[in-house]
Chains A and B, each alone.
Chain A
Amino acid sequence: MDRARPFPNVVLIVLMLGGAVAWLTLPAISVAPNRIVQGTPQHAVAALGWGPTLLVLMPMLAMAVLAWRPTPRRLPGVLALVIVLLIAIPLWLSGVAASMEPTARLGIGSALWCLLFIGLLALIELRSRLALSRPLGWALLVPVVLVWWGCLTQWLAPLALYREYQGRSDQFYAALAQHLMLVGAAVSAAIVLGAGLALAMRRHSRLRRAGFGVLNVLQTIPSIALFGLLLAPLAWLSARFDWLADLGVSGIGWAPAWLALLGYSLLPMVRNIFVALDEVDPAVIESARGMGMSRRQVFLQVRLPLALPVVLEGVRITTVQAIGLTAVAALIGAGGLGTFVFQGLGQAAMDLVLLGALPIIALALIADALLSALTDVLRQGGTT
């Protein structure tokens, strides 16, 4: 056993050397005098000189060296260096911003995107090597997010993405709220309807076959097509019935978006609830009956708690999927963060696209993390 001299961690070495090459050869930023003109790309050295460039380079090279002999005592050091790297990026950007004209706009270049991506990959790699728990992995990102936030509010005013946000911060929060509301409304309706359907399917096998058949076909129809197919009937309904029109139902807007989201959410929801209820060990049910529990008690106190983690898994899949589909719903005027994406694409304003796309990704990741953490907690609670 040569535990003292473990094999080199090839993954980290490749990542860090790749990061170093990207940092030195790709443009790190782009500078534009105003919103309309396209920015000119600049390399890191040209933007802020050799000193700061090497300061960002150091943690990467240090990590590559440490990863050559990744002893258990060195790996936490590598982890700390990744955090240092992710914190160094906004500080370096702040340095660039300090020397810029007040009206100029600073865009993030491909080298910086590469570094951010490589930093996150290194975090994922280290998390699995060190066997860190999921919450701890997320906790590691807290200092990084805080430093980014501090830099943004203090020094990074010229950052084009931040400019776009400042110009429409009210709209941004309204869109965020709209996005969350649509997702929430669709997922909660899917839970209620899905539970009802799953329970009915347990009783009637014919309904089960037909139900899964319809939901499966629905799931394969592309979202943009389903939104489009709902447009005509809903427009007709709202023209026919005044009370529907008063509710705000029309061919475009929230109504077709919500209906389509609900349709897409039903399959994962129904499937998971059905499987969850079905998979509970019959012996457990038997013994609960033997203890003199009524049918109702068995369902509420035994079957449901045991099924809950799998049901939550369904809620997680549904929520993540709905967050992405709601972005598409912006095309039919349902609002939400997708509005910025499509507006930005229409005006060829890439920072506006980012202002929509990055929060959508963040929302999906956060929803995924929170709901899987909740599932873990319930699983542990179930086994003790």
Chain B
Amino acid sequence: MRGNAAAALRWSRRVGWWKPLAWLGLLLALCLGMGGLEGLFRWLEPDSRQVLYARSSFLVLLGQHVMVVGLASLAAVILGVGGAVAVTRPFGRDFLPLVSQLASIGQTFPPVAVLALAVPVLGFGTLPIIVALLLYGLLPIVRNTLAGIQGIDPGVHEAARGMGMTRGQILRQVELPLAAPVMLAGVRTSVTINVATAAIGATVGATNLGDPIISGIVNGNTAYVLQGALLIGILAITVDSTFERVQSWLVQRD
């Protein structure tokens, strides 16, 4: 398995930024030029009057999707890393067992259920989705940040203190850089889940790439479903391959 990961890493290093950029290019090209595939969709769905989702442009839907996921993930990173750092400091150590247990138990909760529970509390629209994504996205980030910081050899800590570094310096120059690869893996999991869950948010009144899918299912129009599904799938792969690239860059740096 480790050999496998190393091989994947070597490969991604050779391919460089081309892979995420190629996926991004495909994503944008499909957003702009979905009309070029009309023949294919017409063949798929010969009975429908309209085969191209037209209620909103795909680029707008993509923008909405990326914005919601981006906002939620950014907040989750700030809160998650901040929280995890706080409970590993002397003043917050009392909360460490509870937070780490909660982060692992919480991940058992299905994301859809969390999204569904946010609606009665916050109402319909984009806000409950951002909050639900934020809450759920916190868990892998907190968990991995804790694992990353706790996984650092105590000797390293000792040596840094011996060199006369202050607590803040140790955090910024030793702990966070050493924990970064594990933390980034947590962010990757979090964002991947958020891209998927945001799409389901179309059922609670948000407009994003989930919209064509939901409206296609409701109206029995396979072409709409396919358009939404293609774009979401490619968006997920674009995001994931970007993270893969950043991760290999982080490892390469050492």
Chain A residues near B (Cβ < 8 Å): 9-11, 110, 121, 124-125, 128-129, 208-209, 212-213, 217, 220-229, 231-232, 235, 251-252, 271, 274-275, 278, 320, 323-325, 327-328, 331-332, 338, 341-342, 344-346, 348, 350, 353-354, 356-358, 360-361, 364-365, 368
The stretch of B25-33, B92-100, B166-174, B246-254 in contact with A is B92-100
B121 interfacial contact with A, CB 8 Å: yes
A357 CB contact (under 8 Å) in B94, B117, B225: B117
Is B240 a contact partner of A220 (Cβ separation < 8 A)?
A: yes
Is A365 a contact partner of B192 (Cβ separation < 8 A)?
A: no
Is B232 a contact partner of A222 (Cβ separation < 8 A)?
A: yes
CB distance from A272 to the nearest CB of B (A): 10
Total CB contacts across the A-B interface at under 8 A: 142
Report the nearest B residue to A129, measured CB to CB. B97
Residues 72-107 of B contacting A (Cβ, < 8 Å) = 94-95, 97-98, 101-102, 105
Is A271 a contact partner of B199 (Cβ separation < 8 A)?
A: no
**Contact code string B212-223 (vs A, CB < 8 Å = 1, else 0):** 011011000010
Is B116 a contact partner of A357 (Cβ separation < 8 A)?
A: yes
Is A229 a contact partner of B113 (Cβ separation < 8 A)?
A: no
Is A121 a contact partner of B98 (Cβ separation < 8 A)?
A: yes
B110 CB contact (under 8 Å) in A11, A121, A227, A324: A324
B176 interfacial contact with A, CB 8 Å: no
Q: Which 7 A-B pairs have the closest CB atoms?
A: A324-B110, A228-B229, A222-B196, A350-B120, A225-B229, A225-B232, A357-B116
Per the bound structure, the CA–CA distance linking A353 and B196 in Å amounts to 20
**Contact code string B184-223 (vs A, CB < 8 Å = 1, else 0):** 0000000010011001100110000010011011000010
B119 interfacial contact with A, CB 8 Å: yes
Q: Which chain A positions have C-beta within 8 A of B117?
A: 353-354, 357
Per the bound structure, the CA–CA distance linking A201 and B44 in Å amounts to 37
Report the nearest A residue to B222, measured CB to CB. A232
Report how many residues on chain B are interfacial, defined by Cβ distance under 8 Å: 47
Is A225 a contact partner of B228 (Cβ separation < 8 A)?
A: yes
Chief secondary structure at chain B's binding surface = helix
Q: Which chain B positions have C-beta within 8 A of A338?
A: 112
Q: Which chain A positions have C-beta within 8 A of B113?
A: 324, 327, 341, 357-358, 360-361, 364
CB distance from B240 to the nearest CB of A (A): 4
Is B233 a contact partner of A9 (Cβ separation < 8 A)?
A: no
Is B1 a contact partner of A341 (Cβ separation < 8 A)?
A: no
Chain B residues near A (Cβ < 8 Å): 1, 4, 7-8, 44, 94-95, 97-98, 101-102, 105, 108-113, 116-117, 119-121, 124, 192, 195-196, 199-200, 203-204, 210, 213-214, 216-217, 222, 225-226, 228-230, 232-233, 236-237, 240
Is B110 a contact partner of A364 (Cβ separation < 8 A)?
A: yes
Most buried by A among B111, B213, B225, B232: B225
CB distance from A360 to the nearest CB of B (A): 5
Report the nearest B residue to A221, measured CB to CB. B233
B101 CB contact (under 8 Å) in A128, A328, A331: A128
Chief secondary structure at chain A's binding surface = helix
Per the bound structure, the CA–CA distance linking A247 and B64 in Å amounts to 40
Assuming the contacts A212-B4, A324-B110, A357-B116, asked whether A229 and B97 have C-beta atoms less than 8 A apart, the reply is: no
Per the bound structure, the CA–CA distance linking A91 and B210 in Å amounts to 43
Per the bound structure, the CA–CA distance linking A220 and B124 in Å amounts to 27
CB distance from A187 to the nearest CB of B (A): 15
Is A332 a contact partner of B203 (Cβ separation < 8 A)?
A: no
Is A222 a contact partner of B199 (Cβ separation < 8 A)?
A: yes
CB distance from B133 to the nearest CB of A (A): 13
Assuming the contacts A222-B195, A232-B44, A345-B203, asked whether A364 and B233 have C-beta atoms less than 8 A apart, the reply is: no
CB distance from B125 to the nearest CB of A (A): 12
A225 CB contact (under 8 Å) in B94, B121, B217, B236: B236
Report the nearest A residue to B116, measured CB to CB. A357
Assuming the contacts A124-B101, A224-B196, A350-B119, asked whether A232 and B233 have C-beta atoms less than 8 A apart, the reply is: no
CB distance from B116 to the nearest CB of A (A): 4
CB distance from A328 to the nearest CB of B (A): 6
Report the nearest A residue to B112, measured CB to CB. A327
Per the bound structure, the CA–CA distance linking A325 and B98 in Å amounts to 27
The 7 listed contacts between A and B (C-beta, < 8 Å) are A212-B4, A225-B229, A229-B229, A231-B222, A341-B113, A344-B116, A357-B116
Is A222 a contact partner of B233 (Cβ separation < 8 A)?
A: yes
Is A353 a contact partner of B119 (Cβ separation < 8 A)?
A: yes
B196 CB contact (under 8 Å) in A209, A223, A251: A223
- 10 extra A-B contacts, CB within 8 A, seeds A124-B101, A212-B4, A229-B230: A223-B196, A225-B232, A227-B229, A228-B229, A229-B229, A278-B1, A341-B112, A345-B203, A357-B113, A358-B113
